[in-house]
Amino acid sequence: MRWIEIFKIYNLKLLKKERLLFLFTTLSILITITISLVIPQINLENTRYLENNIRKINGGDLNISLRGEQTKEFQDKIQELKTKGLEIKTSSFNTCYYKKQSNKIIGTMVSGDYSLERDEIILQSTLANSLNLKKGDFVELDTLGSGVLKYKVKDIEPMSMGVDADAELLGYGKVQQNEKLNISKARNMMYISGQDGEILKEELMKYDHSNIYTSIKDKKSGMERQVAIQSAVLGTLSTVGYIVSALAIISTTIMLILKRKRDIAILRMISVNIKDIKRALNLEISLWLAVPIFLGGLISYRVSKFILNYVGIETGNITMENISLILKGVIFNIIIFFMLINIALMLIKSIKPLAIIREDEKLIKKSTKKIVIITSICLPLFLGAYSIYSGSIGTLGSSLIIILLIMIFLVIVALVVKLLSLIHFRNSVLMYSIKSIKNNFFSFILVLLSLTLTLWFILIGFSLQDSIKDNFNNSLSKILPYNYIAESKDNEGLENILNNESDVEAYTKTFGISGKVQNTLNNNMYKSVSIDEVNKEDYNVKFKIKEGEDLFQGDNGIIISSEMKEKNNLEIGDMLSVETKKGTFQYKIKGVYDCGGINSLSILKEKVEIGESINYMVKSKSDKFIDKLKDSTVININSIGESLSSGLGKFLKIFRILSVICVLSTVLFNINMLYMNYSQGEKDDEIIRALGLGNSFLLKSQGVKIFFFIILSSALFLGVYYLSIQLFISAMFKSNVEVGLITVGITLINAFVLSLIAFNLPIRNIINKRDINLLRE
């Protein structure tokens, strides 16, 4: 048991001496442990909440979004189900404006049987947050048809329940149906309870397959996909946390060994077994890890509960499932970090007494490279094991992407440093700084990587919502020829305002009628369409034509949306048979227009023949004309981007909180690495002082390093940030992302502040130190 004696006499004494290093490393690992345990618990509670409320979320065993006029056979079948005792409810969806001080927020009013008083409303949580409302507050709705109505908030729904995608996107309020709310052009939904939803869906689709049917199984699959995507995104945080912690453990252990290499060499010279030295150091570092691992296990449930309650998801008391998940996580982390310590301790074997005396570090450098290679190979395996523990394969996918990006990052930085080292700078400060970076390349690249990840957490966590909104709105402004859709009970008055308002550039007037496509289509969603007819003199805002001809060009025909064409494999020249209440008509497709995902079911046809309801697509510089309208409904296209981004609010809150925690971890890692790097280079600093160059030279050198950190981290971050947002936006909207000057400016400021924090200890030590004791030794 000689290694215990070595630990008591030597390692325990140095453990107290290195308490600052111990503190930073312990806090960094504590944060990683906590996040790694919190994310699986958040996923567990999300899944549990989904399973307990899936029927409410769907609205019943079967949710039917009714599209157009219903067939007689369908109506007869519904009556038959009622006679069998099945519970069937309906609700209507109308666009309205929710008043917020002097502004208005577009949303949806859902009227149905909700056991509410006439003046009560249930608000969706996203909309309630936008309006800054809580239970008991009052809200005003401008129905633009039934006047302005005032309601008291009875309840707030944490998740969207029993509504369609549009209502979920825009935000909604549920009110009790009454005769005053009989508004035309409402969207209708039906909810059936009392029988298996899958069986009901198969039966009803025989009578009308143009409706959208959603069973509990369908809704659960959709929600599970959403949870899986969120788990994968949150998994990036745990991935980065593990990478930072692995690097912290490896680098700290290597630095300690290098700092004590002379002591280790002396111990070996007096015949102390290398295994005893290794065991003593292993115990010392294990103490560093034991505290954060067990403390992280103790606080993880409280942290996850706080985060879930903060975003509006209620959780019960801790269960055996929670305890089991935490214990598995603690054991998993003990195994992973113990393996990392032993990988780093391989360096001790390369410390040969005679080589240390001759200052020959060839074996040490060779062993260090070997450790880096082994760690690089093991990390993907560790992250794969974590994805199995967390129960999310998506986490493994996001982990592999992060590792790939880091590898690309390392190659780019290595090339940059290599190129800089080849340049012969005349300035002595610059030359010394570049040489210092090259000699400490390992620690330099780790700090740069950590700084880049910190910037990523900050910008993604706090600006993703605005980025989605701005990029979506910018994309639509380039695609669509209009930015407002209006309809009115007084069309003459509306046209008069549009013609005389200076900010209104142009508008197109369409006459619409609902219809059902009789052709066999790949996607039944496009069975129920709107035939929107337009006269030549009213066609003033023109769509972008992607294929074929525009209206009033060439032969008579129709133009369809690009989405309808792509999802149903339609081609120019195909004939569509559309049934309306005025008869069945045959139309030839002569063009395809870009709809940007808006009104993709609209089929545009030249010359008004059967259209009834009138709509206006308006291009205006501002919304001033809206204040002059009466008995009109206006939809601002830009509000869709705002609603879309706010719909991600709950998830982004979770991501934001965890991002802040990760930022603390990476900042601590930076401070730790630079402090160790400074400690390793103290002798070089004293040589500079001995040569008479003074502290000013050293401070200038630190300034050069800070400059390199700011420029390189900002450039690399902006590249990764652009790719991240581009993948997200293109997947949802098929559009390109723009990174503005404001984002660049914020990035540079953040990089500057974070660099100053990281370099604080080395700079303070340089300013306060005057002696050259190391050289005297």
pLDDT bracket for residue 534 (50, 70, 90): very high
Mean pLDDT value of segment 517-528: 77
pLDDT score, position 369: 78
Structure tokens at 122: 């249930």
pLDDT score, position 627: 75
Per residue in 263-316, pLDDT tens?
Answer: 888 888 887 788 888 888 888 888 878 888 888 888 888 888 888 777 767 676
* Cβ(32)–Cβ(246) below 8 Å: no
Mean pLDDT value of segment 217-232: 77
Closest CA to 58 of 230, 205, 212: 212
pLDDT score, position 73: 86
Per residue in 108-142, pLDDT tens?
Answer: 889 888 888 888 999 988 788 778 888 989 998 87
Element (H, E) at 588: strand 583-593
* Long-range Cβ contacts of 697-702 (<8 Å, 24+ apart): 697/428, 697/429, 697/432, 698/766, 699/763, 699/766, 699/767, 700/429, 701/429, 701/432, 701/433, 701/436, 702/759, 702/762, 702/763, 702/766
Fill in the amino acid letter for 744: V
* Highest-pLDDT range among 80-84, 318-322, 404-408: 80-84
**Cα–Cα distance for residue pair 579/71, rounded to 1 Å:** 12
* Cβ(242)–Cβ(382) below 8 Å: yes
Asked if the model's pLDDT at residue 646 lies above 70, the reply is: no
pLDDT score, position 39: 81
**Cα–Cα distance for residue pair 337/250, rounded to 1 Å:** 10
Asked if the model's pLDDT at residue 771 lies above 60, the reply is: no
Mean pLDDT value of segment 72-82: 87
Return the ∠ at Cα 115 (arms to 112 and 119), rounded to 5°: 80
Under 8 Å CB-to-CB from 440, ≥6 apart: which residues?
A: 677, 680, 681
pLDDT bracket for residue 728 (50, 70, 90): low
Fill in the amino acid letter for 175: V
Structure tokens at 457: 């957490």
* Cβ(643)–Cβ(546) below 8 Å: no
Asked if the model's pLDDT at residue 554 lies above 60, the reply is: yes
* Cβ(90)–Cβ(70) below 8 Å: no
Per residue in 44-69, pLDDT tens?
Answer: 887 787 778 888 888 889 998 887 77
Q: Is the pLDDT higher at 764 or at 189?
A: 189
Under 8 Å CB-to-CB from 249, ≥6 apart: which residues?
A: 25, 29, 285, 289, 337, 340, 341, 344
Per residue in 741-751, pLDDT tens?
Answer: 777 788 888 88
pLDDT bracket for residue 96 (50, 70, 90): confident
Mean pLDDT value of segment 708-718: 82
pLDDT bracket for residue 153 (50, 70, 90): very high
pLDDT bracket for residue 154 (50, 70, 90): very high
* Cβ(598)–Cβ(588) below 8 Å: no
pLDDT score, position 739: 65
Asked if the model's pLDDT at residue 773 lies above 60, the reply is: no
Per residue in 360-407, pLDDT tens?
Answer: 667 777 887 788 788 878 877 877 777 777 666 666 676 777 777 777
Q: Which of 82-96, 411-425, 744-758 has the weakest average pLDDT?
A: 411-425
pLDDT score, position 263: 81
Q: Is the pLDDT higher at 523 or at 578?
A: 578
pLDDT score, position 191: 92
pLDDT bracket for residue 185 (50, 70, 90): low
pLDDT bracket for residue 152 (50, 70, 90): very high
384 exposure class (CB count in 10 Å sphere: 0-12, 13-18, 19+) = middle
Asked if the model's pLDDT at residue 255 lies above 80, the reply is: no
**Cα–Cα distance for residue pair 647/641, rounded to 1 Å:** 10
Closest CA to 94 of 46, 145, 158: 145
170 exposure class (CB count in 10 Å sphere: 0-12, 13-18, 19+) = buried
Element (H, E) at 320: helix 320-344
Average pLDDT, the chain: 80
Helix orientation angle between 649-680 and 441-479, rounded to the nearest 10 degrees: 150
Closest CA to 32 of 228, 303, 381, 388: 303
**Cα–Cα distance for residue pair 612/606, rounded to 1 Å:** 14
Per residue in 5-16, pLDDT tens?
Answer: 887 877 777 777
pLDDT score, position 647: 60
Mean pLDDT value of segment 161-189: 78
Asked if the model's pLDDT at residue 169 lies above 60, the reply is: yes
Asked if the model's pLDDT at residue 236 lies above 80, the reply is: no
Rounded alpha-carbon distances, angstroms, from residue 721 to 405, 455, 697:
12, 9, 36
**Sign of the alpha-carbon torsion through 24, 29, 34, 36:** positive
Question: pTM for the whole thing?
Answer: 0.71
Per residue in 444-463, pLDDT tens?
Answer: 777 787 788 788 777 777 77
pLDDT score, position 737: 62
**Cα–Cα distance for residue pair 636/79, rounded to 1 Å:** 39
pLDDT score, position 145: 58
Residue corresponding to tokens 């909207």: 733
Domain residue limits, the chain: 1-65+216-394, 87-185, 423-477+639-777, 481-636
pLDDT score, position 1: 53
The conformation of residue 354, written as its DSSP 8-state character, comes to H
Q: Is the pLDDT higher at 657 or at 186?
A: 657
Asked if the model's pLDDT at residue 640 lies above 90, the reply is: no
CATH number of 87-185: 2.40.40
Q: Is the pLDDT higher at 532 or at 362?
A: 532
pLDDT score, position 382: 79
The beta-strand segments (E) located in 147-196 are 148-157, 172-176, 187-193
pLDDT bracket for residue 102 (50, 70, 90): low
